[in-house]
Amino acid sequence: MTILKDRREVKAAKNHACDYCGARISQGENHNITTIVGDGIYDWRSHKHCDELVDGLNMFSLCDPGEGLTSDHFQEIIDDRYLGVCREKIGEVDDWLHRQLQSVAFKTKMHEVLFDLRKNKPNEKT
């Protein structure tokens, strides 16, 4: 996998799906796009908040460099981080609660992890 064009922000001319979370990128929505050479040339489209999660959680360091960060890896990392956030809030998670937390909608998990990431991010001063 080689990056042909670095991540850049664009406005969607039509509906797309985010290559990380799978949710819709609506026509007119600003999102990020990276052009990649792998098995052909393709554009990787992502929500800005998904890229914030990727960068903030340093997800690329957790994946195979040759394979890159797949949507499956992204979702596994969010699932694991969500359980960690829940453990920080409520303490020990027993088997029953663990099963309940796994059934939470992925979008909710992402937003909780993003909120936690932003909350714990040091203030950047210029």
Where along the chain do its domains lie?
2-120
Q: In the numeric block, which tokens belong to residue 49?
A: 């908040």
List CB contacts of 24: < 8 A, sequence separation 6 or more. Answer: 15, 16, 17, 18
pLDDT digits (tens, 9 = 90+) for 56-86: 999 999 887 777 899 999 999 999 999 999 9
DSSP class of residue 60?
Answer: G
What's the mean per-residue pLDDT of the chain? 91
pLDDT of residue 2: 83
Compute the distance between CA of residue 77 and CA of residue 62 in angstroms, rounded to an integer: 9
With a cut of 50, list the residues of the chain below it in pLDDT: 125-126
pTM strictly above 0.85? yes
List CB contacts of 1: < 8 A, sequence separation 6 or more. Answer: 36, 37, 38, 66, 67, 68
pLDDT of residue 23: 97
Compute the distance between CA of residue 9 and CA of residue 19 in angstroms, rounded to an integer: 15
